[in-house]
């Protein structure tokens, strides 16, 4: 007998149907629940990993400096007499001593053994009375002599690799020849000396034993016939300072001369060596303090002053409104407990080392205004300090004749809270500023890593984009969801949402190369649209309402908005066509010139107007789609009930629909804002990428995202610049997280408040 056919599920009792399908449903429900939980947790973990990686790259910037005492030994070649100068070569393998007896001793830093010794060629019966070192990157020194002459010497290091092993060979050069050159025409001993060497010659300044101040310049001249080199000497006597000179310095570019006394500094302009001029004489100390150390910072713009009271300060010339320069006190650093005995500036960074008579050493950075390290260096007073060209080692000598060699780990001294977020008084600037300028063609460049301008640019770009996008997107969503006919909505909503798929690089390209010139050419017409277009729409609506009912009923309900399309196109075309006429009537034929000459407002072709329009179009689909869904999802019984109670459609919209949909509308705005903050390609191509802090709609900006995109490819991996760019990404990440978190909190409160409607 054949088995009976199975009973269809529709004829089974409910209990049996549930028994058959319950296991499968439970499995599907469990799989969906755990799958969604796994996906959500994975997203959270991915975000946390991104955050952790950003911190991993950023945190080393804030690590303190550290030193590693390597070795200490008696002065190498002690028979050479008193040390006048110490220096290190780039690889930290060799050091050099210049001595009072005109000997040059090259020694190995690891054990102090002498590598080579040179006796400088001094005339018979002449003694060394002073010593000077040029900018440390030039490795040039000068010995002032008792007959009014000076010997200029350069130490260099030749690197070879015989048998694949590095060998460093020290040598000496004489830029002005082996014979000493005349500095003081009267032949008096040179008590104080300064030297600086450039491509065009050498400048020497000296305070003589009879308290005269002499400036001598040797300008290089090359013969066109045999390429021989000669030097033309110029010597002038400068005004005598009010205090006896104790230190003399010439800047790297041979434009400025500083003469220091006990507590006063005379500042001379020596741009023309034949006619130097005294610019300023001022007191830099107070009370009984005296200048104990005076050196240039890298680049030769800033002076570092150490005092007998252990104070350290930075000074540099500042130009006033009349173009006159004056030496200005910029900042102070943490003071030592004892008098400063030696200062050494880093070769290629704005950092320096300072030692005192108690044997303590401090490492500082000027731009960051940061004390990186203070450590005991010796049990005795430190007389000389030298820092290596890479700033990763130091060489010092104390008053007991011991040489100390230390390793330094100080990778990112430029970074501090004040350098990133505060106003900084940079060299050659008239006042403290927020500035981002990460690179330059000069080795003496002072990096400017303020995140304030690019953070400001990020908010500025987002602000103008939202100013453009929010009214259009929200009003469009209200009309589409509440007033538009279903058939028209089925066309309009997908059309706007599909705009979100348009690549932002295309929008940026069009904004930079097409929209920006149009805005610049028709600026009066663009601004007239802000007035004419709303009035035209209101007049069109009023005229429509005044038409007979028979005419208005020809257009089905919900299609009225389509009638505004020709109005908008007509008014827009009319405003653009009238732009040249308006420009002639009101702005003398050129609105850009009028803005600059009359209002003092600069005009940049790629400005906030262009960014607001272009990025607004990128943000509108996001805001519109979410807001429209929120408004359309308002329960129909609320709308019908309101209308049944006698409320008009507008009253229902304002008092019921918008309140109920407010959490969704707020979410739409905040998501759109986050989209605008993180936008890269549009602001990269349409802003001009100028990191300035100006809220003017006629100026561009640079955003965090665009800055990362522009500079990351050219930054050196693990450099300060590289890590600061990651810090910018971390700031953007944190800002977006905080905004989204705040938005979610507000949204939940709005939902709880209006959920009972």
Confidence of residue 229 (pLDDT cuts 50, 70, 90): confident
Q: Is 16 a residue whose pLDDT tops 70?
A: no
Burial 473-511 (b: 16+ CB within 10 A, else e): bbebbbbbbbbbbeebbeebbeebeeeeeeebeebbbbb
Burial 369-396 (b: 16+ CB within 10 A, else e): bbbbbbeebbeebbbbbbbbbebbbbbb
Are the CB atoms for 570 and 662 separated by under 8 Å?
A: no
| Mean pLDDT, residues 391-418 taken together | 92
Q: Is 1 a residue whose pLDDT tops 90?
A: no
Query: 524: Cβ–Cβ under 8 A, 6 or more apart, which residues?
Result: 578, 579, 582, 583, 586, 587, 591
pLDDT at 500: 84
**What percentage of residues in the chain have a pLDDT greater than 70?**
94
- The angle, 0 to 180 degrees and rounded to 10, between the axes of the packed helices 704-711 and 720-754 is 150
The mean predicted confidence, pLDDT, of the chain is 88
Residue 280 β-bridge partners: 267
Higher pLDDT, 13 or 347: 347
In the chain, what are the domain boundaries? 122-283, 458-523+554-559+575-754
Residues in the chain: 757
- Spatial separation of the C-alpha atoms in residues 683 and 733, rounded to whole Å: 18
State the maximum Cα–Cα separation within the chain, in Å, rounded to a whole number: 140
Helix (H, G, I), strand (E, B) or coil at 644: helix
Query: 345: Cβ–Cβ under 8 A, 6 or more apart, which residues?
Result: 136, 295, 296, 297, 298, 304, 351, 352, 387
Are the CB atoms for 296 and 345 separated by under 8 Å?
A: yes
Highest mean pLDDT, choosing among 204-218, 584-598, 729-743: 204-218
pLDDT at 19: 60
Helix (H, G, I), strand (E, B) or coil at 704: helix
Burial 270-300 (b: 16+ CB within 10 A, else e): beebeebeebebeebbeeebbbbbbbbbbbb
Instruction: Give residue 275's Cα distance to chain centre.
Output: 40
pLDDT at 231: 82
Confidence of residue 265 (pLDDT cuts 50, 70, 90): very high
Confidence of residue 585 (pLDDT cuts 50, 70, 90): confident
- Spatial separation of the C-alpha atoms in residues 674 and 249, rounded to whole Å: 54
pLDDT at 11: 56
pLDDT at 486: 86
Question: Is the domain covering 458-523+554-559+575-754 a CATH 3.40.1580.10 domain?
Answer: no
Question: Is the domain covering 122-283 a CATH 2.40.10.10 domain?
Answer: no
| Mean pLDDT, residues 597-607 taken together | 85
> pLDDT tens for residues 374-388?
999 998 999 999 999
Q: Is 155 a residue whose pLDDT tops 70?
A: yes
pLDDT at 624: 93
Confidence of residue 687 (pLDDT cuts 50, 70, 90): confident
Which CA distances in Å does 529 have to 473, 519, 526, 535, 582? 18, 12, 5, 10, 12
421: left (phi over 0), alpha (psi -120 to 50) or beta: alpha
This prediction's pTM: 0.87
Which segment of 14-18, 192-196, 322-326, 353-357 scores lowest on mean pLDDT? 14-18
> pLDDT tens for residues 445-486?
888 999 999 999 999 999 999 999 999 999 999 999 888 888
Strand boundaries in 261-358, DSSP class E: 264-269, 277-283, 291-296, 303-307, 312-319, 325-333, 340-345, 351-356
> pLDDT tens for residues 505-531?
888 889 988 999 999 888 888 888 888
> pLDDT tens for residues 294-353?
999 998 999 999 999 999 999 999 998 888 999 999 999 999 999 999 999 999 999 999
Which CA distances in Å does 141 have to 44, 121, 156, 191, 351? 61, 14, 12, 16, 22
- Spatial separation of the C-alpha atoms in residues 47 and 639, rounded to whole Å: 41
Residue 219 β-bridge partners: 201, 232
Q: Is 209 a residue whose pLDDT tops 80?
A: yes
pLDDT at 754: 67
């Amino acid at each position: 007998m054949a088995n009976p056919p199975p009973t269809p599920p529709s004829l089974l009792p409910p209990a049996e149907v549930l028994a058959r399908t319950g296991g499968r449903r439970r499995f599907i429900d469990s799989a969906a629940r755990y799958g969604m939980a796994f996906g959500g947790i994975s997203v959270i973990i991915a975000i946390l990993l991104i955050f952790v990686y950003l911190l991993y790259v950023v945190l080393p910037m804030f690590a303190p400096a550290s030193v590693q005492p390597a070795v200490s030994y008696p002065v190498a070649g002690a028979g050479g007499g008193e040390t006048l100068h110490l220096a290190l070569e780039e690889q930290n393998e060799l050091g050099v001593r210049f001595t009072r007896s005109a000997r040059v001793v090259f020694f190995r830093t690891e054990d102090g053994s002498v590598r080579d010794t040179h006796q400088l060629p001094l005339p018979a019966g002449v003694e060394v009375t002073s010593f000077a070192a040029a900018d440390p990157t030039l490795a040039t020194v000068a010995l002032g002599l008792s007959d009014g002459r000076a010997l200029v010497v350069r130490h260099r290091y030749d690197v070879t690799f015989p048998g694949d092993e590095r060998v460093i060979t020290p040598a000496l050069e004489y830029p002005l020849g082996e014979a000493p050159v005349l500095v003081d025409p009267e032949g008096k001993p040179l008590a104080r000396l300064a030297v600086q060497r450039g491509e065009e010659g050498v400048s020497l300044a000296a305070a003589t034993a009879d308290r005269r101040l002499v400036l001598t310049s040797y300008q290089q001249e090359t013969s066109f016939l045999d390429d021989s080199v000669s030097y033309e000497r110029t010597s002038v006597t400068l005004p005598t300072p009010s205090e006896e000179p104790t230190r003399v310095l010439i800047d790297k570019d041979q434009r400025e001369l500083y003469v220091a006394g006990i507590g006063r500094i005379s500042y001379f302009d020596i741009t023309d060596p034949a006619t130097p001029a005294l610019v300023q004489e001022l007191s830099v100390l107070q009370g009984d303090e005296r200048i104990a150390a005076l050196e240039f910072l890298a680049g030769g713009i800033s002076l570092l002053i150490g005092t007998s009271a252990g104070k350290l300060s930075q000074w540099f010339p500042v130009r006033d409104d009349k173009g006159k320069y004056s030496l200005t006190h910029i900042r102070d650093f943490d003071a030592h407990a004892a008098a400063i005995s030696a200062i050494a500036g880093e070769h290629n960074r704005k950092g320096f080392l300072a030692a005192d008579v108690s044997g303590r050493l401090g490492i500082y950075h000027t731009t960051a205004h940061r004390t990186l390290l203070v450590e005991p260096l010796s049990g005795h007073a430190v007389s000389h300090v030298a820092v290596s060209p890479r700033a990763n080692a130091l060489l010092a000598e104390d008053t007991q004749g011991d040489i100390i060699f230390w390793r330094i780990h100080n990778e990112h001294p430029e970074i501090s809270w004040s350098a990133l977020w505060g106003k900084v008084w940079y060299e050659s600037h008239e006042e403290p500023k927020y500035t981002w300028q990460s690179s330059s063609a000069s080795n003496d460049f002072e990096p400017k890593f303020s995140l304030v301008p690019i953070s400001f640019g990020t908010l500025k770009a987002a602000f103008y984009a939202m100013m453009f996008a929010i009214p259009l997107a929200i009003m469009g969503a209200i009309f589409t969801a509440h007033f538009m006919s279903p058939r028209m909505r089925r066309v309009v909503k997908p059309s706007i949402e599909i705009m979100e798929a348009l690549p932002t690089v295309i929008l940026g390209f069009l904004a930079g190369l097409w929209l920006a010139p149009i805005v610049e050419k028709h600026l009066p017409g663009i601004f007239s649209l802000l007035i004419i277009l709303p009035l035209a729409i209101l007049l069109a609506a009023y005229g429509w309402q005044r038409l007979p009912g028979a005419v208005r009923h020809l257009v089905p309900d919900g299609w009225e908005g389509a009638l505004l399309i020709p109005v908008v196109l007509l008014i827009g075309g009319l405003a653009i066509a009238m732009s040249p006429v308006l420009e002639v009537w009101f702005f003398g034929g050129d609105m850009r010139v009028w803005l600059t000459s009359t209002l003092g407002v600069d005009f940049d072709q790629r400005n906030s107007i262009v960014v607001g329009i272009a990025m607004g179009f990128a943000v509108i689909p996001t805001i519109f789609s979410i807001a429209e869904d929120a408004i359309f999802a308002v329960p129909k019984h609320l709308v019908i009930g309101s209308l049944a109670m006698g409320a008009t459609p507008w009253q229902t919209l304002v008092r019921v629909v918008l309140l109920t949909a407010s959490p969704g509308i707020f979410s739409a705005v905040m998501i759109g804002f986050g989209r605008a903050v993180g936008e890269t390609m549009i602001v990269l191509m349409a802003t001009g990428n100028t990191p300035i802090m100006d809220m003017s709609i006629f100026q561009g900006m640079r955003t965090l995202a665009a800055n990362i995109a522009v500079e990351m490819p050219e930054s050196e991996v693990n450099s300060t610049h590289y890590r600061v760019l990651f810090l910018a990404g971390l700031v953007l990440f944190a800002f977006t997280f905080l905004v989204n978190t705040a938005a979610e909190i507000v949204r939940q409160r709005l939902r709880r408040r209006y959920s009972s409607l």
